[in-house]
Amino acid sequence: MKTFYINLSIVLIQVISGFAIAQDNDINISGVVLEEATSQPIPYATVALYRKNSKEIITGTSTDYEGKFNLMTTASNFYIEISFMGFKTKSITQLNSSHSKINLGVIKLAEDSESLEEVVVRADVSKTVFKLDKRVFNIGKDISSTGASALEVLNSVPSVTVNIEGEISLRGSSGVQILINGKPSVLADESSNALGTLTADMIESIEVITNPSAKYEASGTAGILNIILKKEEKKGWNGSVSLNTGTPDNHSVGLSLNRRTEKFNLFTQIGVGYRSLPRDSEAINTNLADNEVIYSVGTSYRDETFYNFTLGTDYHINDLNVLTLSGNFAYEVEDQPSETNFRYYDSNNVLVSNWVRKEITEATNPKYQYDFNYKKQFKNNSEHALQLSALGRFFGKDQSSEFINSTISGTDANSNQQTKTDFKQADYTFKADYTNPLSDSYTIEAGAQYVINDVGNDYQVSDLEGTDYVVNEDLTNNFEYNQKVLGIYFTGAYELEKWGIKAGLRLENTDLSTLLTNTNVSNSQNFTNYFPSFHTSYKLSDNMSLQAGYSRRVFRPRLWDLNPFFNIRNNFNITVGNPDLQPEFTDSYEITSIYKIGKASFSSSIYHKYTTEVIERVSTFNDNVTTTTTENIGTNASIGFETNGKYSPTNWLTLTGDFNFNYFDRVGNFETESFDFSGNQWSSRLGTKVGLPADIDVELTGRYQSGYNTIQGDVSGYAFLDFGLRKKILKGKAVVNIGVRDVFESRISESFVSQPTFETYSHSQRGRFITLGVSYGFGKGEAMTYSGGRRR
């Protein structure tokens, strides 16, 4: 309560003093607040000035994300108190002023063991910190994320949406680049389903970069999501262990260990588990030329046994040089049974044939990565640094499937098929980054990156003829994909206390080639592009700031966008790639305001994007079969508004919300058809977290995603609710969590395609997921909620 009244007094004093004219005898007080044990910055620590005689509060402020603070006063007889929950308050009475400035330098706060329990309770809520060119969403121990994978965590981040298929979008736009600790990673490859091996407890923060500076690789027209993983820094042995279960089957055990010494930091995480992911689906193909209709309804499963092992070490050669070596190995064993019922009706609505198509699919997915990183800091400034890194990653899939058709009634529809897939992807990334703060105001950055992507997909289809399976040469091929991207960049920043500006330029050369080896059909592309960026910010007051930014981005076609071969699970609704697809380019502009009103904080943005060579999915219809492929079709201009907010009226209640509205204008033609149209989409999210007696927390999060028009039809909207409950025991060392995702089973995927000659409808649903987790922290570690969770 003391801290509350201090903060309230500071806010009132700042509001009143904001109307006063600064005097000539103002004293500027500055410093930086760090943790004594780890030398890590302490954001939002309270810095208060008191009169020595009356102990009346004069003014105050809070530290920023880097632990820095700066305030002004005209008083002459005062002392300073610096406080933060969980740390001992420090009083500074001996103050030396030089030229109306008092520089307190580094102030270190020691942990207060008597209040640590309160700190654990109050530090649970995720929060967003704003920087010049990005937003940093620090992951709290959100209850509904119990047993959740990285995709569920991303779905709780403002501006980010993850649909039922696992596709990630930012402000309603796909084409998002996912990084792990600032680098590409096999764990961030959506095509490999690998994000599920990351879990909520492993994530420290997520950086949302809607307008990336030239320092970042230009891929991803919607922006960048950078997932920062935790790396324990406490000395000695630390760790935590967890056990999770749930329905549908979701069982796992996780272990996290860390050993910290003066020279080494050894960290490892191990997870093993089993999860079943059912999915109900329905599709209707209507031939408007003769009114024939094909219905398909079925359920598919992804039953997975998974293993995840991470091992790494930091070696501090000295105070200025650090080597990091780390590796991750994950292995999945998949069993994917499915059963789909088909019904074929003629133009008179008479049932012609009814049959069942069963699938038996087994697959093993090994994936691993290894990372070398060297960082050198220079003596003159800790921010003056050179960083070199090399990353290798591999993902493989050895999959076999058998499809069995059984006629129930009507015309014989028996036809059995087998498929085999041998998929291998190897990626290599080499980076060099140099940062030099030339002064307190000027900073330059320069660097280079070289990325190699080498992929092979050997796909074979065999048809049952008599008693033998014969290879279908029309559907069999080996697709090879090779891409090399060389990028160099330079940025310069000028940053004062209230105003900052950052500009940069990136040059990238892309060399892409694809080859269908069986048919010797190849495609090569080589192009060089410039990607400028510009960012600025201005602090109007302690409670309000403005940011503005511009960047140019590219979305290069992904493997599955280019590969012309497809899965034949439902051979009346198939998807194929287009090897002739071109990249799309986006110019992105935005203005953002950040402001505080009492106990509420808000961020609002207006943004505009203009994209050329837009990659769209286009459906064609032939012989009652819908084939969907990707094409470059015209341009897309969009303008949107987004706002995020958090309100904590008491220390036991927190309310959060965000809203995003996007209006778009599509212009384009494909073959003889015009795709000119306009539309909009919007989404909202509301969350509440309530602290109850007996160390019990309850959390509710509701979300709505509106429907929107596509170039050939529309996608329906949906709403869903997540629930979480947590109970801390053993003085916070152990935690029991219950999470319910999609409480009312209302999260669906539903789309329509309506054309003059055909109509299609598709519907899919995952259903409700319930998880129970128990975790225990030992050493200096804290209880976690690790589940080795998989993507849904």
pLDDT band at 126 (very low <50, low <70, confident <90, very high): very low
* Mean pLDDT value across residues 563-576: 77
pLDDT score for 235: 52
Identify the H or E element spanning 6. Answer: helix 2-17
Residues 671 and 719 in one domain: yes
Residue 589 domain-assigned (yes or no): yes
Q: For residue 87, is pLDDT > 90?
A: no
Q: How far, in Å, CA of 602 to CA of 609, rounded?
A: 23
Please, which pLDDT band fits residue 112 given cuts at 50, 70 and 90?
A: low
Amino acid at 230: K
Instruction: Give percent of the chain above pLDDT 70.
Output: 84
Say yes or no: 726 and 657 in one domain: yes
108, 126: one domain: no
| Span 183-218, pLDDT tens digits | 666 555 554 444 554 556 667 778 888 778 888 888
Q: Please check whether residues 131 and 100 belong to one and the same domain.
A: no
Give the residue, 36 or 761, on which the prediction is more confident.
Answer: 761
The answer to whether 48 and 60 are in contact (CB under 8 A) is yes
- 295-326, pLDDT tens digit by residue? 999 999 989 998 988 888 888 888 889 898 98
Task: Kindly indicate the confidence band of residue 114, based on its pLDDT and cuts at 50, 70 and 90.
Answer: very low
Where residue 265 sits, what CATH number does that domain have? 2.40.170
- Tell whether 414 and 286 lie within a shared domain: yes
Give the SS3 label for residue 592: strand
One domain for residues 640 and 758: yes
What CATH number did the domain enclosing 90 receive?
2.60.40.10
Structural domain for 104, as ranges: 2-116
Q: Are residues 678 and 749 in the same domain?
A: yes
For residues 766 and 747, the answer to whether their CB atoms sit within 8 Å is yes
Q: Environment class of residue 110 by beta-carbon count within 10 Å: exposed (0-12), middle (13-18) or buried (19+)?
A: exposed
Is 790 a member of any domain?
no
Per-residue model confidence as pLDDT tens digits over 753-765: 998 899 999 999 9
Q: Which pLDDT value is given to residue 48? A: 84
| DSSP strand pairing (236-247 vs 499-516) | unpaired
**Does a structural domain hold residue 577?**
yes
User: What pLDDT band is residue 777 in, cutting at 50, 70 and 90?
Assistant: confident
**Terminal-residue alpha carbon distance, the chain:** 42
Percent pLDDT > 90 in the chain is 33
The total number of structural domains in the chain stands at: 3
Q: Which of 116, 150, 169 marks a domain boundary? A: 116
- Do 209 and 246 lie in one domain? The reply is no
Lowest-pLDDT range of 90-99, 741-750, 762-771 = 90-99
723-736: average pLDDT: 83
The CA angle 78-107-321, to the nearest 5 degrees, is 160
Backbone angles phi, psi at 118, to 5 degrees: -65, -35
Strand partners, 657: 645, 686
pLDDT tens readout for residues 688-727: 888 888 888 888 989 999 999 998 899 999 999 999 888 8
Looking at the structure, do residues 382 and 335 belong to the same domain, yes or no? yes
The pTM (predicted TM-score) of the whole model is 0.71
The predicted pLDDT at position 448 comes to 96
Query: Residue 383: inside a domain, yes or no?
Result: yes
Within-domain flag for 574: yes
Residue whose C-alpha is closest to residue 304's, from 339, 331, 338, 270: 331
- Would you place residue 507 in the very low, low, confident or very high pLDDT band (cuts 50, 70, 90)? very high
**CA 42, CA 83: separation in Å to the nearest integer?**
10
Question: Last residue of a domain, which of 229, 248, 281?
Answer: 229
pLDDT per position as a tens digit, 653-671: 888 888 999 999 999 988 7
Q: What is the CATH number of the domain that holds 223?
A: 2.170.130.10
- pLDDT at residue 692 in the model: 87
**Contact yes or no for 227/188 (Cβ under 8 A):** yes
Mean pLDDT of the chain: 81
Are 208 and 241 within one domain? no
Residue 485 lies in a domain: no
Q: 274 with 374, same domain?
A: yes
- Longest distance between any two alpha carbons in the chain, whole Å: 101
pLDDT above 50: residue 270? yes
Answer for the pair 242, 249: CB distance below 8 angstroms, yes or no. no
> What is the pLDDT confidence band of residue 124, given thresholds at 50, 70 and 90?
very low
Kind of pairing, strands 351-378 and 713-715?
unpaired
Q: Please determine, for residue 345, whether its predicted confidence score (pLDDT) is greater than 90.
A: yes
Are 652 and 759 in a shared domain?
Answer: yes
How far, in Å, CA of 308 to CA of 789, rounded?
A: 10
Whether residue 784 lies inside any domain: the answer is no
The domain boundary, picked from 53, 84, 116, lies at 116
Residue 786 lies in a domain: no
Of 460-474, 605-619, 631-645, 729-743, least confident by mean pLDDT is 729-743
